[in-house]
Amino acid sequence: STPLPRPGDWPAVRREFAFAEAAAPKIPLNAANLTPPLWRVQQAYAEASARLAADVSFHHRALFLQTELARLRGLLAQHLGLADGRDVALVRNTSEANATVVNGFDFAPDDEVVLWDHNHHSNNRSWGYRRARRPFVCRVVRLPEQPRSEQELIEPFLAALSLRTRVVSFSELSNISGLRLPAAALCKAIHAARPEVFVHVDGAQTWGATALDLRAMDCDSYSSSAHKWLMGPRELGILYLRPERAEQLQPHTLGYDYEFNYPEAGLPTGAARFECLGQRNDALFPALSRALEFHLALGPAAIEARIHELGQGLRQQLRAAGFDLRTPEDERFALGISVIKIPEPAKAVAAFRNLYEQHGLYAAYVHDNHVLCDMPVAVEGEPPLAIRLCSHVYNSEADLVSATEA
């Protein structure tokens, strides 16, 4: 296999992607939705798929899983700051992981769940659909668009707690504004005030973009997907569960586990209780291992610093060009997502299409609290549109200059 890039060699990192080889490349600026996978991830998946296609016997599949899962769990533990990779359930994506938490609790009608209004819909709307089936109370926290201190982001959550609060669920980094919450400080503050409250962190925008230490974060669960900032395979995600809290949640799917057993004698007590999902696409596991090896070789802290450097540079250029951003001006609360306000919907639509069609740069819309891939007709009087640009380690400074000029 191709040697891993040296830490800090960002041009070599860019060459790890298919778009870099194209004569007229389409430049990705939409990591909050989907990143191109690394070449080595695609190769690992193709090789593993071929191996499994050649022999689908129980004998071979069991040996494949034993080998690949042990390797993967070791890498997950290292990358997430855990003592044991078995504290992570392998699921399809963040949405499935969030749904596992949402549907895992039994609530009385006066039990309360505290949410952030910038949570992804797979978090907030899933709680809403659950509440429609069997009532409980949802309290929604709103935060300042331009925070000046961590306490401005923590105090509203603490103020929303009551003696009936069972769960607090928040996205660590907003996909609609780019606002980054101080997750570790927030989890610690909530547990200091109410130790029994279950704190779930949606990490869809931070796994692969930040140096994670989930034990130090003090969350009870953490969800994410490999297809975003991790630059890994599609349809594979994680759900970390603090071991002593895992049994509080009941699984919503029961099938065969990775040992081809159905849990008739009782569910596992840890994260494995959420891996009884029946037949899986086992070739994804070595593909995810390759992505984790790549991140660990470059250094998660160095990746985070590079993403922040590019994001901050882009935001400085945009503001200098006269644009108003939804993303915080205080760079402590920003990372790789930059959201540009464009009050006139027709201009936003034109800008979005012009970026791709004329300049080969692809981005996303933000419409109120929704992220859209296109809007055929801009309707006056609806909430203003914004354009979201996500800078990642495969981007160059020239990409960001091109985006600002476009």
372 or 253: which carries more pLDDT confidence? 253
Percent of the chain residues topping a pLDDT of 90: 88
Residue 381 has a pLDDT of 58
- The string over 199-215, giving b where at least 16 C-beta atoms fall within 10 Å of a residue's C-beta and e elsewhere, is bbbbbbbbbbbbebebe
Tell whether the model's pLDDT for residue 73 goes beyond 70.
yes
Tell whether the model's pLDDT for residue 110 goes beyond 90.
yes
User: How much is the average pLDDT of 307-324?
Assistant: 98
Residue 347 has a pLDDT of 87
Residue 121 has a pLDDT of 85
**Residues 180/333, Cβ–Cβ less than 8 Å:** yes
Residue 385 has a pLDDT of 85
Question: What tokens appear for 237 in the block?
Answer: 């995600």
Residue 227, C-beta contacts closer than 8 angstroms, at least 6 positions apart: 34, 35, 37, 93, 233, 234, 235, 236
Q: How confident is the model at residue 349 (pLDDT cuts 50, 70, 90)?
A: confident
Q: How confident is the model at residue 264 (pLDDT cuts 50, 70, 90)?
A: confident
User: How much is the average pLDDT of 125-150?
Assistant: 95
Tell whether the model's pLDDT for residue 376 goes beyond 70.
no
Tell whether the model's pLDDT for residue 251 goes beyond 80.
yes
* Average pLDDT in the chain: 95
Q: How confident is the model at residue 383 (pLDDT cuts 50, 70, 90)?
A: low
The conformation of residue 4, written as its DSSP 8-state character, comes to P
Q: For residue range 202-226, what is the model confidence (pLDDT) as tens digits?
A: 999 999 999 999 999 999 999 999 9
Q: How confident is the model at residue 380 (pLDDT cuts 50, 70, 90)?
A: low
Q: For residue range 14-40, what is the model confidence (pLDDT) as tens digits?
A: 999 999 999 999 999 999 999 999 999
Which backbone phi and psi does 58 adopt, to 5 degrees?
A: -60, -40
Residue 382 has a pLDDT of 66
**Residues 203/170, Cβ–Cβ less than 8 Å:** no
Q: For residue range 179-196, what is the model confidence (pLDDT) as tens digits?
A: 999 999 999 999 999 999
Residue 25 has a pLDDT of 94
Q: What is the DSSP string of 124-145?
A: HHHHHHHHHHS--EEEEE---S
| Cα–Cα distance measured from residue 141 to residue 117, given in angstroms and rounded to the nearest whole number | 6
Residue 348 has a pLDDT of 87
User: How much is the average pLDDT of 257-272?
Assistant: 90
Tell whether the model's pLDDT for residue 97 goes beyond 90.
yes
Q: How confident is the model at residue 368 (pLDDT cuts 50, 70, 90)?
A: confident
User: How much is the average pLDDT of 166-188?
Assistant: 98
User: How much is the average pLDDT of 258-275?
Assistant: 91
| Cα–Cα distance measured from residue 370 to residue 121, given in angstroms and rounded to the nearest whole number | 8
Residue 224 has a pLDDT of 98
pTM above 0.85, yes or no: yes
Residue 122 has a pLDDT of 85
User: Residue 311 belongs to what H/E stretch?
Assistant: helix 300-320
Tell whether the model's pLDDT for residue 345 goes beyond 90.
no
Residue 375 has a pLDDT of 64
